[in-house]
Amino acid sequence: MSGAQATAIRDAAATGSRSAGNGSPLLLEIADLHVAYGQVEAVRGVSLVLMPGQIVSVIGPNGAGKTTLLAAAMGLLPSRGRLVFDGEPLAGIDVEARVERGLTLVPEQRELFGALSVADNLVLGATARRPGRAERARWIDAVYARFPRLADRRAQMASTLSGGERQMLALGRALMSKPRLLMLDEPSLGLAPLVVREILTIVRALRDEGVAILLVEQNARAALEISDHGYVLETGEIVLAGPSAALAGDPRVQATYLGGGTDEDGDA
């Protein structure tokens, strides 16, 4: 892909996203982002934008750089380029401070504390917000109301939960930080179809409640069905972008991604 083509794609993506939400200001802006592992550049010149209350999906093959992109946005990896959240540059802002500002990542591996109970994992999710005990209890009750199975297992060690329950706990723990933008890395990975539908229904509900979602998802069809805007990332670059319905109708996307979900994302 030529540099001119890449610029046209990025400009079209930005214009399309800015036109959503009735002219609302951008919540997240990523511009010309580069992320490297040593001499190998895993993300090259990526630009995307996300509005408040939007679901934006990023699809692509294994090793395309999707996980790397989220990790850089969260501050877990060094990067070059422009990262702006709610009008404020994120350069020099550490992970904890990003969480305090309302940016939260649910990683692909969920990264729960397996030796701790469901309830204790939720308590740890609120650490960056430092709520009082009564307020924290209300937040935990809200998570249990959203995920009744977690309420039934509140005293159970996280390591003994099923895959779907672990994903629910990972989402619940992230919600304890009161995010304005929730970044989800492969939330359906390894889950049964019924559980996947349940998780994606919850993602939609969060969007309807005002939480913006940046979704990296192995199931491209499901990702495009629930998102407002989408990007296709291949070999570290954005190659297609636009409204999700338009991407779902694109012959290239249909041929490459919509015959079935992709496998586990293999990038670091």
What pLDDT does residue 165 have? 92
- Asked whether 20 and 31 are in contact (CB, 8 A), the reply is no
Mean pLDDT computed over every residue of the chain: 87
- Please report the domains of the chain, with CATH numbers, ordered by start residue: 3-102+179-257 (3.40.50.300), 112-178 (no CATH)
Length of the chain: 268
The reported pTM is 0.86
Lookup: tokens for 80: 């070059």
Question: Which pLDDT tens digit goes with each residue over 54-103?
Answer: 999 999 998 999 999 999 999 999 999 999 999 999 999 999 999 999 99
With CA atoms as reference, report the closest residue to 90 among 29, 176, 140, 177: 29
Q: Indicate if the pLDDT at residue 3 is higher than 70.
A: no
Kindly give the pairing relationship between strand 28-37 and strand 80-85: antiparallel
Question: Which pLDDT tens digit goes with each residue over 9-29?
Answer: 444 444 444 444 445 589 999
CA angle, 165 then 228 then 222, to 5°: 45
Question: Which pLDDT tens digit goes with each residue over 166-204?
Answer: 999 999 999 999 999 999 999 988 888 888 888 899 999
Q: Indicate if the pLDDT at residue 211 is higher than 60.
A: yes
Kindly give the pairing relationship between strand 103-106 and strand 181-185: parallel
Q: How confident is the model at residue 115 (pLDDT cuts 50, 70, 90)?
A: very high
Side by side, the strands of the sheet bearing 212-216 are 103-106, 181-185, 212-216, 55-59, 229-234, 237-243
Q: E-strand spans in the chain?
A: 28-37, 40-50, 55-59, 80-85, 88-89, 103-106, 181-185, 212-216, 229-234, 237-243
